Amino acid sequence: MSTGNMNFTLKVWRQKDANSSGKMVTYPAENISPDMSFLEMLDVVNESLIHKGEEPIHFDHDCREGICGMCSLYINGRPHGPKRAITTCQLHMRSFNDGETITIEPWRAAAFPVIKDLAVDRSAFDRIQQSGGFVSVNTGGVPDANIIPIPKVIADEAFNSATCIGCGACVAACKNASAMLFVSAKVSQLGMLPQGQPERWSRVQAMVAQMDEEGFGNCTNTGACEAECPKEISLLNISRMNNDYFSAKLFREEKVHDHGASGGE
């Protein structure tokens, strides 16, 4: 039931490039419609910066409908801002109070170096996916649909894990900058399904090894990731990944480097 437009004070992390040190800079955000998304508010601020001849604030965004995982931003101490289960593009300015000071920071993790201002390099996630987040499929005749029976509960669980958009909010929220929620979701979405079974034991080893190499922290089961995830990925995935990893390492024949070898020729 808003009567008019809103004004805010923004404290934004400005950093020229990966090699520079950055600092917090204060900007006014004036005449903002409460129905604007957070990213649209930043667009308006950037317009005024451009008019003044200043460098606009760089931030990541793409689909602006909550499915691509590109937008980030650590807003007032929380990834994707104060609301649950949404991305920053789905956050509206009516979620803030008129006159409020809003602190905006990039994701903070050694594995997510800042590219510029609020944009961070999340290619560590891509490398983890490339290390094992796939099934190897040989081409051939078109198989019949539904030829492999999958219980509904399993299909649903795998789908829940697959809703991870790889935005990195879990890493940003974790006090240890751990990527285990992301990796476990990607391990689970394939490991639970029949199509993922041939590479199940090599996949988990390959993805955990790559995760460690990227320099993420270690999970201490606080559950902050689960609470901040825009897709509500459950901590159950981490437990599942651990179980698969220990099974693979201690009781299975497959080795880490076997991954991707079973399907291709």
Partner 1 sequence: MSEFKQTFNSSLGKKLIMALTGLFLCTFLIVHLGGNLLLFCDDNGYSFNMYANFLTHFPPIEVVAYILYLAIIVHALYALILTVNNTKARPVAYVAHNDAPASWSSKNMGLLGSILLLFIVIHMGDFWYKYKFTHTVGYKEYRTNVLTNQTTVSDFTPADPTFEHSSTTEGDTEIIRVKDLHARVANSFSNVWYDLFYVIAMGAVAFHLLHGFQSAFQTLGWRHRKYTPIVKFIGTWFFGVIIPLGFALMPIVYYLKSLGR
Positions in the binding site for partner 1 (CB under 8 A)? 11, 13, 24, 74, 76-78, 103, 105, 108-111, 173, 175-178, 180, 208-209, 211-212, 215-224, 227-228, 235-236, 238-246, 249-250, 255
Nearer Cβ to partner 1 (33/242): 242
Residue 10 · residue 102 · CB < 8 Å = yes
Cβ nearer to partner 1, comparing 196 with 217: 217
Listed in sequence order, the residues at least 6 apart from 1 whose beta carbon sits closer than 8 Å to its beta carbon are none
Minimum gap (Å) between residue 210 Cβ and partner 1:
11
Do 44 and 36 contact (CB within 8 A), yes or no?
A: yes
CB of 149 to partner 1, least distance (A): 22
Largest CA distance in the chain: 66
Q: How far is the CB of 252 from partner 1 (least distance, A)?
A: 11
Q: How far is CA 199 from the centre of its chain?
A: 24
In angstroms, give the least distance from the CB of 64 to partner 1. 24
- Quick one: 58 exposed, middle or buried, by C-beta within 10 A (0-12, 13-18, 19+)? middle
Residue 144 or 253 having the CB closest to partner 1: 253
CA pair distance 31, 45, nearest whole angstrom: 10
Based on CB atoms, which residue is closest to partner 1, 61 or 80?
80
Contacting residues for 138 by C-beta, under 8 A, at least 6 apart: 263, 264, 265
CB of 69 to partner 1, least distance (A): 19
Nearer to partner 1, 9 or 242 (CB): 242
Compute the C-alpha angle 66/193/154, nearest 5°.
75
Shortest Å distance, C-beta 14 to partner 1: 12
Q: How far is the CB of 147 from partner 1 (least distance, A)?
A: 29
In the bound state with partner 1, the residue whose beta carbon lies nearer, of 79 and 166, is: 79
Beta strands in the chain (DSSP E): 6-14, 23-32, 74-75, 78-79, 101-105, 114-116, 119-120
Residue closer to partner 1 by CB (options 24, 154) is 24
